[in-house]
Amino acid sequence: MTALPFLPFSRPTIDEATIAAVGDVLRSGWLTNGGPQVAAFEAQLSAYFGGRPVRTFNSGTCTMEIALRIAGVGSGDEVITTPVSWVATANVILEVGATPVFADIDPVTRNIDLDKLEAAITPRTRAIIPVYLAGLPVDMDRLYAIADKHKLRVVEDAAQAFGSTWKGRRIGAFGDFASFSFQVNKNLTTGEGGCLVMNTAEEAALADKFRLQGVTRSGVDGIDVDVLGGKYNMTDIAAAIGIGQMKTIDAVNAHRRALAAHYFKSFGPEFEAHSSAQLPQQAFDTSNWHLFQIVLPDRGPTTRADFMTRMKTEFNVGTGFHYAPIHLFTLYREMGFKEGMFPESERIGRLTVTLPMFYAMTEADVERAVGAVKSVLAK
Ligand SMILES: *Cc1c(COP(=O)(O)O)cnc(C)c1O
């Protein structure tokens, strides 16, 4: 057992200026619902995404659900996604009454395999939800070629991809719907929250309704409800945190890239051959390095549970697993999904491990995590 302090796999950094700004909001008396911080945060986000319309919400999950509602996806429609994501990605498909259809992943990128996605399209397919796992986009040219050819809406689950790019353009600055999460582990956090980048003012007006009970106000006391909305608005308190985080996001993402580069350097060119573990793709021109994930060897000296336990107890290093494949959860098995349907997802789901990666980490922390991985895998 080491005497070193616990190194978690993720930890938020909130600077003092942001903490002071939250204090100002609390003192202002306007905490939520149409407040100045939400409006300012949405304006900053819109500028960040090339001037496209943006609305904020109180989670990345409801952000995706609202995108599906704006697209008119519902009962009788199929939506194709990946099994390797946070369960929210598939739950929102069920939430709007549509049918989830899975396509297996590419074992190198660990994202949805676009050939398998295209093969899963039927006459009932209405939308696709690609997930940019760990911040790595899919082949965006191919994705939108498929969507155009088959006339499908795209709800990009870009929860992990704030600041990721494709051919020099930000994810969210082009394409159809892009949904981001500001949950506490994400590169940019508001505690909890999310935002949706849309195409038109009409879609943004619908987003306004869906996030607040379907209400439209007019004049001094005019109010009407013409669609079923919910209670999904972001608070001014959360938006103030987001505004503070926007000031450092470029530095945060640059530091994460540097830490990822240091991971590869510290593992060294022989690591994969020696250990049979698999490192992530070296996607330095696209990924925001939200997560740094390795895939353990299939017949390794330890199971993943052993590996994670020993990382913690012997080296005081935290790890995570992102994610267990969605189709094998009981709720989804009850719909007919079972083992063997998506073998790559099942293998990665069983063997993937997330190593520490966050803004306050140092290169020494990376070396410590790598040293621990090598020791645990060696015996
Ligand atoms: C975080 C996350 C979500 C959900 O976002 P919340 O803000 O927690 O609701 C959905 N999909 C992926 C891939 C995520 O990482």
Same domain, 149 and 211: yes
Same domain, 314 and 238: no
In the reported structure, the alpha carbon of residue 89 is separated from the centroid of ligand 1 by a whole-number distance in angstroms of 7
Mean pLDDT calculated for residue range 60-88: 98
Q: What is the pLDDT of residues 234-247, one digit of tens each?
A: 999 999 999 999 99
Same domain, 240 and 318: no
Record the pTM.
0.97
- Residue 311 inside a domain? The answer is yes
- Please give the structure tokens belonging to residue 233: 């608005």
In the reported structure, the alpha carbon of residue 85 is separated from the centroid of ligand 1 by a whole-number distance in angstroms of 8
Domain count, the chain: 2
- Residue among 61, 121, 133 nearest 90 (CA): 61
Residues with CB under 6 A from ligand 1: 59-61, 85-86, 88-89, 131, 157, 159-160, 181, 183, 194
- Please give the structure tokens belonging to residue 299: 């017949």
- CATH number, domain with residue 242: 3.40.640.10
Same domain, 221 and 237: yes
Same domain, 308 and 228: no
CA 132 to ligand 1: nearest atom: 13
Residue 300 has pLDDT above 70, yes or no: no
Residue 301 has pLDDT above 70, yes or no: no
Same domain, 211 and 320: no
CA 160 to ligand 1: nearest atom: 15
Residue 1 has pLDDT above 90, yes or no: no
Within 10 A of 374 (CB to CB), how many other CB atoms are there? 16
Same domain, 176 and 70: yes
Rounded to whole angstroms, the Cα distance separating 259 from 265 reads 10
- Please give the structure tokens belonging to residue 213: 């009970």
Rounded to whole angstroms, the Cα distance separating 127 from 110 reads 21
Domain boundary among 188, 223, 246: 246
Residue 47 has pLDDT above 80, yes or no: yes
Q: Which of 183, 352, 357 to mutate to test the pocket of ligand 1 (most atoms within 8 A of CB)?
A: 183
**Amino acid at the residue 37:** Q
The length of the chain, given as a count of residues: 379
Mean pLDDT calculated for residue range 305-331: 97
Lowest mean pLDDT among 2-11, 69-78, 278-287, 328-337: 2-11
- Residue 4 inside a domain? The answer is no
Distances (CA, A) of 105 to 152, 176, 209, 269: 20, 22, 35, 25
In the reported structure, the alpha carbon of residue 29 is separated from the centroid of ligand 1 by a whole-number distance in angstroms of 30
Same domain, 232 and 105: yes
Same domain, 75 and 124: yes
Hey, which residues does 153 pair with through a beta bridge? 127
- Model confidence at 34, pLDDT cuts 50, 70, 90, reads confident
Same domain, 230 and 187: yes
Rounded to whole angstroms, the Cα distance separating 177 from 120 reads 21
- Model confidence at 299, pLDDT cuts 50, 70, 90, reads confident
Domain boundary among 246, 276, 291: 246
Residue 175 sits in which domain range? 16-246
- Please give the structure tokens belonging to residue 84: 């390797």
> Contact 2/348 with Cβ under 8 angstroms?
no
In the reported structure, the alpha carbon of residue 81 is separated from the centroid of ligand 1 by a whole-number distance in angstroms of 14
Q: What is the pLDDT of residues 351-377, one digit of tens each?
A: 999 999 999 999 999 999 999 999 999
The mean of the pLDDT values for the chain is 97
Cis peptide before 332 (omega within 30 of 0): no
Q: What is the pLDDT of residues 126-170, one digit of tens each?
A: 999 999 999 999 999 999 999 999 999 999 999 999 999 999 999
Q: Which of 9, 81, 86 to mutate to test the pocket of ligand 1 (most atoms within 8 A of CB)?
A: 86
> Contact 130/138 with Cβ under 8 angstroms?
yes
Active site residue 186: yes
Domain boundary among 246, 281, 301: 246
| β strands within 232-358, DSSP E | 292-295, 352-355
Side-chain half-sphere CA neighbours of 116 within 13 A: 20
Report the pLDDT value the prediction gives residue 345, as an integer from 0 to 100: 98
Rounded to whole angstroms, the Cα distance separating 162 from 179 reads 10
Minimum CA distance residue for ligand 1 atom 5: 60
Same domain, 24 and 145: yes
Spot the catalytic one: 186, 231, 247, 312: 186
- Residue 9 inside a domain? The answer is no
- Residue 56 inside a domain? The answer is yes
Exposure class string for 90-127: b at 16+ Cβ within 10 A, else e: bbbbeebebbbbbbbbbeebbbbbbebbbebbeeebbb
